[in-house]
Copies of this chain bind each other. A is one copy, B any other.
Amino acid sequence: MSRRYSAEAVTAAGIALFQAAGARPEDAQSTVAALVTSSLMGHDSHGVMRIPEYLGLVARGLIRLRSEISVERTGPATAIVDCGHGFGATGAARAVQEGLQIAREQRTATVITRRCHHVGRLGAWVELAAAQGMIALMTCNSPVYGHFVLPWGGRDARLATNPIAYAVPTSGDPVVADFATSVAPEGKLRFYLNEGKPVPAGWILDSDGNPATDPRGFYGPPRGGILPLGGSAGHKGFALSLLVEILGSALAGLGPQDPDFLGNGNCLVLIDPSAFCPPDKFRRLMDETVAYMKSSRPVPGVAEVLVPGELEFRTLRIRRTEGVPIDEPTLLSLHEYGRGFGLDLRQWLN
């Protein structure tokens, strides 16, 4: 069961909660805006349901309320954004801002983060850069406690779900891809576990390294692992996941099991298309490319070919009108946090 609320109401409630928890107005604003947009785009798993999780991290002192972001320009086209364990959304937005400034000068930029908390939907940050005309590519890894994913041929998990996102401007909505390099996220396995249902074949191995469909085969103990993207070509998904791990940890000076690593390790690469093709022509060629993909007649049972991001932008338009769904446990948790802060959220989320 879930109920729908306007994005404005959810945003107001979320900002009130984070400010009551001691967040600076700008941190509360950027964090809630990112989460509500994820929900608007249909990515509920990276949306409003994360508000209570983040409030919990604040309560435990893991998200630092008064941290300062520091930026080190380490080369003409590179920078390190140290997010000081503040809010991930603020850190990610700053990384994009620094990247844009560098890419406008140099035409290409690589920016990595350090001490950055959960950045939410990775697509949000590449979209931000594409809105400024850039091609943006971003990777995001997680510390050892998120290592649920198997290297190809192995039975012990060594990688996180390690998503990759990219965005490219067109003359309309950008093309935006954002996907885990594992075949499925851990959250989906938990859903099957809670429902007492088998997971699809090809998702998990048990701790002996045998294919399993019982989610308990993954959770153990002892724990099994999630397979990398690719099915029978899972070595390709492993290669992608390993790249995300390298760009998130080794490049940032961290070992693969560093106990001090919290949150996400991000790497953002920006390419200014105008270094290669006049901007208007590039957008026209992108429109042609999108149209060419969509001109492929759909397979039986599919209405049309969708390019990456297209479904999300459609959902965004629908949910701006129809509201954002919030599930019952999240709603209860938000109200509970509200009461704890002496805030009555019923003015927004009744």
Contact = CB atoms under 8 A, between A and B. Distances in A.
Contacts of A243: 137, 166, 168, 177
A295 interface: yes
A209 B302 CA distance: 10
Interface in A271-300: 271-273, 275-277, 281-282, 285-286, 288-289, 292-300
B200 A254 contact: no
B112 A245 contact: no
A246 B175 CA distance: 10
Contacts of A190: none
Interface in A126-172: 135, 137, 150-159, 166, 168
A interface bracket (residues with beta carbon within 8 Å of B): 35 or more
Q: Which of A269, A304, A308 has the most CB of B within 10 A?
A: A308
A272 B153 contact: no
Nearest to A288: B255
A313 to B, nearest CB: 15
A59 interface: no
30 contacts: A74-B107, A76-B76, A76-B106, A77-B108, A78-B108, A80-B276, A135-B247, A153-B302, A154-B302, A155-B296, A155-B299, A158-B295, A166-B239, A168-B246, A179-B239, A183-B232, A202-B231, A208-B300, A210-B299, A229-B230, A229-B237, A230-B230, A230-B231, A235-B308, A242-B308, A246-B286, A249-B285, A250-B282, A256-B292, A269-B271
Given A151-B296, A153-B304, A250-B273, 13 more contacts: A75-B106, A151-B307, A156-B297, A229-B230, A229-B233, A242-B307, A250-B286, A251-B276, A253-B276, A253-B281, A254-B285, A255-B285, A256-B288
